[in-house]
Each structure stands twice: as C-alpha cells, then as structure tokens.
Amino acid sequence: MGFGDPLGMAITHSIASGMGGVRTAGDLVGRMQMTRGMKLKEAKEYVANKLRVSVKELSDPVTMAEVRGDLDIGRVRSIPKFSKGIDAKFRIAELLGIKINCVDLFKQRVGREI
Amino acid sequence: MKKIVTRMGDGYLTELTEAELRRDLEEGTRDASEKGKIPPLSEDELKHLFDIFSDPSRFVSVEPGNEVILSFDGGTHKIYRLGVNTGRIHNFQLMERAVGADTMETGHLDYCFKAAKILLFEEQQELEQALLVTMLPIFYGAMPNLGVYSQPDGPFPNPAELLPKGKIKEARASQEEAVEMAVKDFVYVATALYEVGADGINFDTTGAAGDPDFLAALRATRILKEKHPEMCIELGMAGEFVIGMHGELEFDGVRLAGLYPHEQMKLAEKAGATIFGPAINSVTTKSGAWNVARAVTFVKPCVERGKLPVHANIGMGVGGTPVAEYPPADAVSRASKAMVEITRLDGL
C-alpha cells in the first residue's frame, strides 16, 4: 500500500484485510511469498502445515499467541527470557525451512556456519 | 428514495441513489474493460460491490480466512512524516507491534535510489540495526524517479523542456542516457542494502517518469536477480498506464509505452520480480464506487493470468481510494475489502 496517514491507511487496511503480522502469522506467510514467490493460498497452507494449525487459525490472534509462545518465535510483547528480534528469526528460519538474509549474515559475523 | 452516503474520488461526501450506485459500478468496470481490453466484472461481482457500498456501516472488512499480506511503500516514513519525533528503528517497532504490519519497509526520506546512494552508509547502518530488533520481513524501498537524472537535478538535458521545442531525438537520447545511469544506481544501492540483510527490495512507483523509468527498473531487476537469485524484489507501479515519454523503448521486444497492468505484470515476471504491484489511479471527479469498480477490473487479470504474488497498490489516490490527505476509513476499508474479495489477490 502507499501514501496516507497511519490511521487512515495502514491501520485501516490492517484491520480490514491484513493478516495481523506478529499478532498472528502474517509475518510468516509474508516470508513465504518473499522467499519462495508463493501465491497467498499456497503460502498460508505451507505455514499452517509447519505450525500444525488450520489455515483459518493463522489469522486468529488468540490461537497464534499460544502457538507462537509454544514455538518461541516471537510475539507482540517482548517477554523476558523468550525470543525476540533476531533470535526469533533464527527460529523462524528453522521452522519454515527458509533462508533469512539477516540471520545468515549474523551467523557469518559470529563465525558460525550457515 | 433511499440515499446511500458515499464519497467522491477526492474524498468529499456525496449521496447516491441505488440506481446511481449501480450505474457508477457498471461504468467504472466498463471504463477499465474498454481501456485495458480486459473482461468487465460479472453480474455477481457487481452485486458484491453494490453490497459493499450500500452497507451503511462506517467500516467494512473481509470475511475471516480471506486476509492478505500487507506490504508498505515507505512504511517507516508514515510516522515521522506526521512530525512525530521518532527514528526509523522506533517506527519499525511501532509498525510491527502496534499496527499489525505483516512486512515493513524503510527507505531514504527523499525515497529515491539516487538520494539513497549519497547516504548509503547511513542507510545500511540503520537497516542493519533495525534487523536486530524486529521479527517481520523488511524491504528497502525507493522510487526509480528518473526525473532526478535530468537538469537541473541531474546531468542530462531535461526531456520535458526538449519535447515542447520539438527536439524529440534529443529528448529520447537524454532519457536513454538517464536509464543507463539509473540502472547502475539502482543495482548499487539495492545490492548494498541486501548485503546488510534486507529481506527484499521494493521498486516503488515504477513508471512515474514514463517508459524510461519502467525500463530502468526492469533492467535493474534482471541484473539483481542474476547477481542474487534469492533476493525478493517487489515491483510496484505508478499508474495503470505506462506513459510514453520516450515512446520507442522496449524490454525483451515489448514496447513499454501504453502497457496496462496485466501487460506490465508479464514484463515484471520476465525480469525476475518476486511480487508485482499494479497501481490504478483514482479519478477525483468520479465516485468511490466508480473508482473501485474500475480498479478491481484492472487488477483481476493480473491475479488470474500471472504467476507472481500480486500486491495491489492501494494507498492514497490509487486502488480506488480517494485522493485525500487523511483518507477516510469508510472509503479505504471498502476499497480494501473489494480489492481482496473480488480479485482474490495475494496482498496489498
């Protein structure tokens, strides 16, 4: 989407038709479009299969808060001692079986194999 | 007679009768169909649009399960452009945690590759840090903005000054030189940001300076994908029609001037783009219903005929939304729902 104040544009789309980002599984489905060029249906099915939830549950913040917590892949709130930021992305890359560019670069910087 | 409160393409409130609403929807889809030589919306689709626009609610939304992925042109700019005193890293966190963004984007405030090149180190520095504290995928975005390569902003003679003087050959030569320089800039900047961890590069508002602008983005996309096959490239357009500022430029043997979204998408696919973003401009003197019917008619064949995920541009003044500084949620939510449920696209 493009120009417009956050309430009028970004928040409106987010509520009207967005998946919900890290509140749900929006970031994960987005990654499958970006890394594998998957169309939406295929990307949702792929992520649902990896998370062992139904496609409908992917957009449900209550179910997904639990699933994300159990898998420790980052949530809306930064919970002490749980993954967030780059460490959550390490786990997301492993869970989805994809390469995440900044995760690979991080590994290189600390002298670990990709 | 029952009146439906709705908006014009400039955002101002208006009232339509049911017959007027039906007429606007039919005329909107017909306009796109005739111009793009694509099928108009079916009776069922027009009825669905009628239901969306005649719903008296302030806000409408897609049915559960129909949600799509959101990508944000100039995403982190949206907070500090209000004058709110935050930095880009704060804005990433706000959009991720407070707005429910599925993906996010950053870019130079001037939002073009040429400007980003000058401050590339700082762009890399901030992006690298943002990637440490966020979880959602991050694009680096910029406009090709070929206009900044001509005088007085750039080195080449200004085609907009040459053309009215009848110097068509000189104008074309200037644009061809600008394309060469711009492609080098786009590749240089995109590579630098990818090399510090960007999840994707967004060529936003492609074609804003006409066919040379589109050509430069297509060429850069191809070079980048050859260099980094795993790089995600979103190629978003400036309008539904590629303006022939040059008129004779081609990509893979296809003339660029005059291409409509479903034809633009085919070239994005050939160049190696990962996501395509059609943009349909709103007409301020027509109703929102007319604009939405027209926009979804243009976008639908992109979804049906292409292999790429489609994220329609649906920011202010495109995709059926009004041209208004503060877009009203009633109008934007209707455009959002209609675009998703009629076209079955992959994102906005």
Nearest residue in B to A72, CA atom: B135
**Nearest neighbour of A38 by CB, restricted to B137, B200, B309:** B309
Residue with tokens 């919900």: A20
Phi-psi region of B253 (alpha: psi -120 to 50; beta: other; left: phi over 0): left
In chain A, residues with a C-beta closer than 8 Å to the C-beta of B329 are: 7-8, 12
- Whether B11 and chain A come into contact, CB under 8 Å, resolves to no
- Domain total for chain A? 1
pLDDT tens digits for B36-90?
999 999 999 999 999 999 999 999 999 999 999 999 988 888 888 889 999 999 9
A59 and chain B: CB distance < 8 Å anywhere?
Answer: yes
- Mean residue pLDDT across chain B: 96
* Residue A40 in contact with partner chain B when CB distance is under 8 A: yes
Percent of chain A with pLDDT over 90: 91
- The contacts of residue A72 (CB under 8 Å, 6+ apart) are A82, A83, A88, A91
Put simply, whether B327 touches A (Cβ < 8 Å) is: yes
Contact A9 B134 (CB under 8 A): no
Probe site for chain A from B7, B61, B68 (most A CB atoms < 10 A)? B68
Question: What pLDDT sits at residue A3?
Answer: 80
**pLDDT(A114) > 70:** no
* A79 interaction partners in chain B (CB closer than 8 Å): none
Measured between beta carbons, the chain A residues lying within 8 angstroms of B79 are 6
Partner-chain residue, chosen from B82, B197, B337, that has the shortest CB–CB distance to A17: B337
Q: Looking at chain B, which residue has its C-alpha nearest residue A21?
A: B102
Tokens of B146: 């070929």
Q: List the domain range (segments joined by +) for residue A91.
A: 21-109
Task: Report the pLDDT value the prediction gives residue A2, as an integer from 0 to 100.
Answer: 76
CB contact under 8 A, A26 and B70: yes
- pLDDT tens profile A28-74: 999 999 999 999 999 999 999 999 999 999 999 999 999 999 999 99
pLDDT above 80 for A1: no
Residues of chain B with pLDDT under 50: none
A14 located within any domain: no
Q: Is A5 on the interface with B (CB under 8 A)?
A: yes
Compute the nearest-CA separation of A14 from chain B (Å).
6
Residues of B in contact with A102 (CB under 8 A): 128, 131-132, 196-199
| Smallest Cα distance from A49 to chain B, Å | 16
In 3-state terms chain A splits into helix, strand, coil percentages (rounded to 5) of: 65, 0, 35
Q: Is residue A97 within 8 angstroms of chain B, CB to CB?
A: no
Nearest neighbour of B332 by CB, restricted to A13, A22, A43: A13
Q: How far is CA B289 from CA A108, B22, B144, B334, in A?
A: 52, 9, 31, 9
A54, part of any domain: yes
Q: Does B77 touch chain A (CB under 8 A)?
A: no
Q: Does A99 touch chain B (CB under 8 A)?
A: yes
Q: How many helices (H) and strands (E) does chain A have?
A: 6, 0
B97 — contact with chain A (CB < 8 Å)? yes
Cβ atoms < 10 Å from Cβ of B125 = 12
Query: Is B310:B303 a contact under the CB 8 Å cutoff?
Result: yes
CA–CA separation, B238 and B286 (whole Å): 20
Number of H-type helices and E-type strands within chain B = 12, 9
Whether chain A has a CB inside 8 Å of the CB on B12: the answer is no
Picking from B96, B76, B100, B70, the residue whose alpha carbon sits closest to that of residue B348 is: B70
pLDDT recorded at residue B69:
98
Interface of B with A in 222-281 (CB under 8 A): 230, 232, 274-275, 279
ipTM: 0.96
Residues of B in contact with A57 (CB under 8 A): none
- Residues of B with Cβ-Cβ distance to A89 under 8 angstroms: 135
Is the distance from CB of B299 to CB of B280 less than 8 angstroms? yes
Coil, strand or helix at B291: helix
- Which tokens go with B240? 């539904």
Count of beta carbons in the 10 Å neighbourhood of residue A77: 11
Query: What 3-state DSSP class applies to B201?
Result: strand
Structure-token match 């793009």, residue found:
B36
> Does a structural domain hold residue A4?
no
**B74 contacts A2? CB cut-off 8 A:** yes
A76 assigned to some structural domain: yes
Instruction: Tell me the fold of B3-343.
Output: TIM Barrel (3.20.20)
Residue B13 CA: distances (Å) to CA of B16, B27, B290, B328, B333: 10, 20, 14, 10, 15
Q: Rounded to an integer, what distance in angstroms lies between the CA atom of residue B59 and that of residue B344?
A: 20
**Residue among A3, A17, A89 whose CB faces B135 most closely:** A89
